[in-house]
Chain A
Amino acid sequence: MSDFEAKKDLVTLRINGITVQASSGETVLTVARRTGIDIPALCHHPKISSSGACRVCLVEINGVPMTSCTTHAEDKMEVITNSPYIEHLRRDMIDLILSDHPNDCMVCQKTGECELQELAYKYGIRNPIFSGERRIYSKKDGNPFIDRDMEKCILCGRCIKICDEVQGVGAIDFAYKGFDTKVCPPFEKDLNCEFCGQCVMVCPTGALTGKAWIGKGRYWKIQEVDTTCPYCGIGCNITLHISDNRIVRVTSPEDSVVNKGLLCVKGRFGYEFVSSPDRLKTPLIRKDNELHPASWEEALSYAAKRFLEIKETHGPDAIAGLSSARCTTEDNYLFQKFIRVAIGTNNVDHCARL
């Protein structure tokens, strides 16, 4: 876009008396947050399209309450995000959500990082004034990865949208109508998807959690270590959550360059091998049909010796190299170079071709 066009699209509006500029496609919510004005929102998420479902991000636009996540910034707009009226509406909205929520934060895994809990705290809602019947579901999902507690679901629709719009899977959607509306897989069967866990990542409450990390430690007692996912050559940025020197959960920073916070089933849920007692910790050399632990020095020398022997006796084409997708591109480059130059054969392939 040329400078001229960019300028043409710029609009000027006022938020809480502060004059701000925005490009015309931006929502009021985005502009406000960029300006440092916080507007709470439970259904909005930067990775998905806005739906305007939770109605918590209401602001006064030219005197009329409107959802800031769905309203585009316009020239001369007058936005108030914190008037007593808006705060009253917002408070009652949280109240209504809490009136249909278990409010069992004491035992909820999400405590401390729950967006609903934050808002309940902010508005000081202990007993909702609109209390009434709550949805009670007995069924728990039998899948191995994702714990779905639909009583805690506030029907914001983030999980549905990220599954559909970002992951392109569409494993879940709304079912039923009215108060009985529920997010579930088709025909209310158990979840049977890729289990990428993107839904768990965006869930604002404890409705979706990883089964692997339930009860493994509170959010604030965990040490976070940034690293790279070892599973494949993409090298996603991950954050290991460590408690008692064990990995209890894996997340990914939302601003990560490589994967933008998204992970696959392996990266997000497949970390238990790290502390597995079955894990191989040293190289093993087979002698007399039995495997014996060896040092790296011993193992590498032995392998080099055998390569040379085979090459001399049977020629280089008697050797083939098969590489792994878990290695980086650089690793794989080096590997084929080694097979082609050091061994002298073109017998080289890669597991990802299978």
Chain B
Amino acid sequence: MTDPTIEIKVCLGTSGKASGGEDVLRAFKKFIQESGIEARVGSRCSYKTVGCRGFCSKDVLVDVIVNDQKTTYQSVKPIMVEKIVTDHILNGNPVPQWTATEDYDSFHDKQYKIVLGPCGEISPDSLDDYLKINGYKAARKAVTKMLPDDVISVVINSGLRGRGGSGFLTGKKWELCRKQPENPHYIICNVGEVNRALAEGNPHAIIEGLLIGGYAIGAEKGYLYIRERYHISVERLRTAIIQAKEKGFLGTNIFGSDFSFDIEFSFGTEAFICGEETALMESIEGKRAMPRPRPPFPAIKGLWGKPTVINNAETFSNIPMIVGKGAEWFSSIGTEKSKGTKVFTLTGKVKNNGLVEIPMGMSLRDIVYGIGGGIEGGKELKAVQVGGPSGGLIPMSMINMGLDYESLSKVGSIVGSGGMVVFDEEDCIVSVARFFLEFLQRESCGKCTPCRVGTKRMLELLTKITEGKGEETDLARLDRLSAIMSVSSLCGLGRTAPNPFITSFNHFKSEYLAHIRDRKCPAGVCKALITFSIIEELCKGCGLCKRKCPTKAITGEVKKPHILDADSCIKCGACYKACKFKAIKKV
């Protein structure tokens, strides 16, 4: 009989670290060392720090693997470590109350993980780990056995479309760039917000994808564009680049060929507009990130005026797999026109928040109720905002729709940044649209009139409605503004900025009208449109509301019905939440 092997995997992605993952890891090491467990078990414990596996709401996630038997613990705190080690590792009895629940399994089981697969399994800082899962084999195959045009053909045939915004066919973009006679060519990888898990969990896949892309389009230089404050992503990518260089996967004469390729970082600051490819190029060039007019398209005239391909990290992460396993494998996943998988950030009022990867075409219902586990507190789903701030709201009635580029575009939404925010019956749809417009107005670069002024005016009109001052003519104005902005703005930000309004108005017109005609907020969110009062018959005079009220608006004697003074009430809702007898009325 062989000695038992013990491996402890701790999630140290951004969320894992923020939840105290480093302390948990330290606690494991300390306890195991101090109590001499290795000697007692007769085996060495190995530790592995892994990237995000998506289920961030249950961080810190820890896998304890004894003899290939994996047990996952969720929400681990350093204080729990001693019991886990004693019960589980020493005595072979996993601690049932802390192990991952059904949610964890259903969250993962219903996903289709291609790019996120290795995240949370392998150590991002270990090239060996990546090589064990066939890392750099695809790049070697491409560079040594395939012509650039063949690589492009594979990518075209796979049907892979850009995972960033408009969903242009990646291979076609590469082909157009490759054909340009002007040299040099550049290739850029945008590591956006939603790509952080990829950079933190499996940075080598991005590097390999970028390398294959560089070979295919004839570029010798690649850029990693990333916000400087994504420290963990930057560090892990940096380590990966150094490791790849040491092995000769980057640099000159890669895999013994005459192909040379190098990668440089370009750091961005806090600007949503840098997701727009021409603005991103301006930023790399050291200028203010403002989009350029198109045409010319970047594939013809891009960075420094040279032919350039820009894709995001998710797109690049797919490349090694496509080249390695073939176009047919990839195109067998997804729908007719949208192939492969897509990563979404599932947030909002859903039970299980986190990063999810789904096959294209999966229904919204399966995502929200299957992976997400339904709505928190058993409430009714109202709508889902898909595609980030400038995406569109999809109502409950359309929950059975499958998500892909075409179907989303049909309902006025986009794949966009892959954001997915779930709203329930307690969310006011006008406030939701207002919230997104506020973000978009702040992030408008200010260059073109319709976006700069248009988003401001839309925000003002929506604010007016939520403040109970809306008029029906405001809806006509919003409609007119939306129409102008979506056709005449310079870039995608301005063109899609009206989406939150357009889609929410299409599906929730009555809620808008309730704000305007009846001066009511049906969801009870807009402060100007709600009032709190105490129902005398139900009030027991317990005094809880009185103690919770920050403005002393509630008065009354113990065991006698209390009185709420509407003039001093700031409508914070503290009394409403506190009352155990449902004696506070919100209208």
Docked-complex contact A92 and B288, CB < 8 angstroms: no
Docked-complex contact A177 and B457, CB < 8 angstroms: no
A93 / chain B contacts, CB cutoff of 8 Å: 449-450, 484, 488
Docked-complex contact B484 and A92, CB < 8 angstroms: yes
Closest Cβ neighbor of B456 among chain A residues? A179
The answer to whether B489 has its CB under 8 Å from any CB of chain A is: yes
Docked-complex contact A99 and B453, CB < 8 angstroms: yes
Within 8 A of A (CB), among B450-489: 450, 452-457, 460, 477, 480-481, 484, 487-489
The answer to whether A232 has its CB under 8 Å from any CB of chain B is: no
The answer to whether A129 has its CB under 8 Å from any CB of chain B is: yes
With A89-B484, A89-B488, A93-B484 already in contact, the answer to whether A174 and B456 are too (CB < 8 A) is no
Which of A52, A70, A96, A154 meets B457, CB within 8 Å? Answer: A96
A179 / chain B contacts, CB cutoff of 8 Å: 441, 444, 446, 452-453, 455-456
Docked-complex contact A89 and B487, CB < 8 angstroms: yes
Instruction: Tell me, in angstroms, the Cα distance from A53 to B445 when the chains sit together.
Output: 11
CB-based A-B contact count at 8 angstroms: 100
The answer to whether B448 has its CB under 8 Å from any CB of chain A is: yes
The answer to whether B403 has its CB under 8 Å from any CB of chain A is: no
- Is the interface on chain B under 10, 10 to 19, 20 to 34, or 35 or more residues? 20 to 34
Instruction: Tell me, in angstroms, the Cα distance from A56 to B484 when the chains sit together.
Output: 12
Instruction: Tell me, in angstroms, the Cα distance from A181 to B445 when the chains sit together.
Output: 8
A40 / chain B contacts, CB cutoff of 8 Å: none
Looking at A155, A157, A173, which has the most chain B CB atoms within 10 Å of its CB?
Answer: A155
Instruction: Tell me, in angstroms, the Cα distance from A58 to B293 when the chains sit together.
Output: 13
The answer to whether B442 has its CB under 8 Å from any CB of chain A is: yes
Looking at B446, B480, B481, which has the most chain A CB atoms within 10 Å of its CB?
Answer: B446
The answer to whether B443 has its CB under 8 Å from any CB of chain A is: yes
With A51-B447, A52-B293, A55-B450 already in contact, the answer to whether A178 and B457 are too (CB < 8 A) is no
Instruction: Tell me, in angstroms, the Cα distance from A181 to B448 when the chains sit together.
Output: 11
A217 / chain B contacts, CB cutoff of 8 Å: none
B453 / chain A contacts, CB cutoff of 8 Å: 96-97, 99-100, 130, 179
With A89-B487, A92-B484 already in contact, the answer to whether A52 and B454 are too (CB < 8 A) is no
Looking at A99, A133, A181, which has the most chain B CB atoms within 10 Å of its CB?
Answer: A181
Closest Cβ neighbor of A86 among chain B residues? B488
Closest Cβ neighbor of B442 among chain A residues? A178
B452 / chain A contacts, CB cutoff of 8 Å: 155, 178-179, 181
The answer to whether B309 has its CB under 8 Å from any CB of chain A is: no
With A96-B453, A130-B477, A178-B441 already in contact, the answer to whether A53 and B488 are too (CB < 8 A) is no
Closest Cβ neighbor of A64 among chain B residues? B487
Docked-complex contact B477 and A129, CB < 8 angstroms: yes
Docked-complex contact B487 and A174, CB < 8 angstroms: no
B45 / chain A contacts, CB cutoff of 8 Å: none
Q: In whole Å, how far is A62's beta carbon from the nearest beta carbon of chain B? A: 13
The answer to whether A67 has its CB under 8 Å from any CB of chain B is: yes
Residues 48-73 of A, flagged 1 when their CB comes within 8 A of B and 0 if not, give 00111111101000000101001110
Instruction: Tell me, in angstroms, the Cα distance from A50 to B443 when the chains sit together.
Output: 23
A178 / chain B contacts, CB cutoff of 8 Å: 441-444, 446, 452, 455-456
Docked-complex contact A70 and B293, CB < 8 angstroms: yes
Instruction: Tell me, in angstroms, the Cα distance from A72 to B295 when the chains sit together.
Output: 9
Docked-complex contact A157 and B447, CB < 8 angstroms: yes
The answer to whether B490 has its CB under 8 Å from any CB of chain A is: yes
Q: In whole Å, how far is A69's beta carbon from the nearest beta carbon of chain B? A: 8
A54 / chain B contacts, CB cutoff of 8 Å: 448-449
Instruction: Tell me, in angstroms, the Cα distance from A173 to B449 when the chains sit together.
Output: 17
Within 8 A of A (CB), among B242-299: 271, 273, 288, 290, 293, 295
A70 / chain B contacts, CB cutoff of 8 Å: 293
The answer to whether A176 has its CB under 8 Å from any CB of chain B is: yes
Instruction: Tell me, in angstroms, the Cα distance from A52 to B441 when the chains sit together.
Output: 19
Docked-complex contact B487 and A132, CB < 8 angstroms: no
Residues 128-148 of A, flagged 1 when their CB comes within 8 A of B and 0 if not, give 011011000000000000000
B449 / chain A contacts, CB cutoff of 8 Å: 53-56, 93, 96-97, 154-155
Instruction: Tell me, in angstroms, the Cα distance from A70 to B271 when the chains sit together.
Output: 25
Give 22 pairs: A residue, B residue, CB < 8 Å, sorted on A: A51-B293, A58-B488, A65-B487, A70-B293, A89-B488, A93-B488, A96-B449, A97-B449, A97-B453, A129-B477, A129-B480, A132-B457, A133-B456, A157-B447, A174-B290, A174-B447, A177-B442, A178-B444, A178-B446, A179-B446, A179-B456, A181-B444
Q: 7 tightest A-B contacts by CB?
A: A181-B446, A70-B293, A52-B293, A179-B456, A96-B453, A178-B444, A132-B460
**12 extra interchain contacts, Cβ-Cβ under 8 A, other than A51-B447, A130-B454, A177-B273?**
A53-B449, A55-B489, A71-B295, A96-B454, A97-B449, A129-B480, A130-B453, A155-B452, A177-B271, A177-B442, A179-B453, A181-B445
